[in-house]
Structure 1
Amino acid sequence: MFNLFQKIPSISTKELAEKLNDPITLLDVRNPEEYRKGHIAKAINRPFNKITDYQGKEKELYVICTAGVNSKKAAKILKEKGYDVINVRGGMNQWHGPVKGGK
C-alpha cells in the first residue's frame, strides 16, 4: 500500500505554463470525456482509474486533473512506481491558458 503521507511536490498552473516550452510529460488523469471537452495540448490522457497501469519511460511526470485532488492521488501512486512526480495545484479549474478539444 502506498504512503498517504508522503510529500508530493506541486506547482501552480502558471508555473506549468512556463514549463510547457520544455520537453515535459504531462498526464491528464481526468476521464476521457472530460479530456475531450478541453485539455492542455501537450497533455496525455491517462484516466485516474487506470493510473496503476502506467508504464512510461520518462523519469519525471507532471500530473493534472480537474481540481488537483485525483492528480495528487495519482502522483502518490506513480511515485511508488519510481517516478519523480509533480502535481499541478488547482488542476484545470485554475488553468487559464489555451485548451484543445478532442483526442
Structure 2
Amino acid sequence: MFSFFNSVPSVTTSELEEKINKNAVLLDVRTPREFRSGHIRGAKNVPLSEVGNYDPKDKKVYVICQSGMRSKRAAKMLKNNDADVVNVRGGMSAWTGRTVQGK
C-alpha cells in the first residue's frame, strides 16, 4: 500500500561521498537536461516521472535531485516498492565534489 508516511533514511552529500560504493546505485531523478548540465560520475538518470518503473535489483539506492525535494518523493516511492533506499539531503545544490557533464 502506498503511503507518504513511511520514513526514508537520509544522508548529507558529504556522507554520500563516504558511502557510495559498487554495491549501491546513485539515482539522479532530475530531468535529462539538468542531468546533462552536471552530475556525479556513475549516477544513473531516472527522472522522477519514471521512478515508478525503476527496479534497483536488490542494491542499495541513494537518490539525489537538485535540492532534495524530488529525491525525497522518489525515495518514498521506491521504499513503498520494498527498495533499500536513502535520500540525499540538499541534493546537487549541496554537492561540493566533482561533477561530469553530458550523458
Q: Same fold (TM over 0.5)?
A: yes
Residue 56 of structure 2 contacts residue 83 of structure 2 at CA under 8 Å; is this kept in 1? Answer: no
Q: Residue 35 in 1 paired to residue 40 in 2?
A: no
After TM superposition, the structure 1 = structure 2 runs for residues 47-86 of structure 1, keeping only pairs within 5 Å, are 47-86=47-86
TM-score, structure 2 length as denominator? 0.94
Per the alignment, residue 101 of structure 1 pairs with: 101
Structure 2: distance between partners of 1:40 and 1:95? 9
**Structure 2, unpaired ranges of 5+:** none
After TM superposition, the structure 1 = structure 2 runs for residues 5-20 of structure 1, keeping only pairs within 5 Å, are 5-20=5-20
Structure 1 residue runs of 4+, over 4 Å off?
Answer: none
CA RMSD of aligned residues (A): 1.0
Structure 2: distance between partners of 1:15 and 1:32? 25
Q: Percent identity?
A: 50
Secondary structure at 2:8 match in 1? coil
TM-score, structure 1 length as denominator? 0.94
* Corresponding residue pairs, total: 102
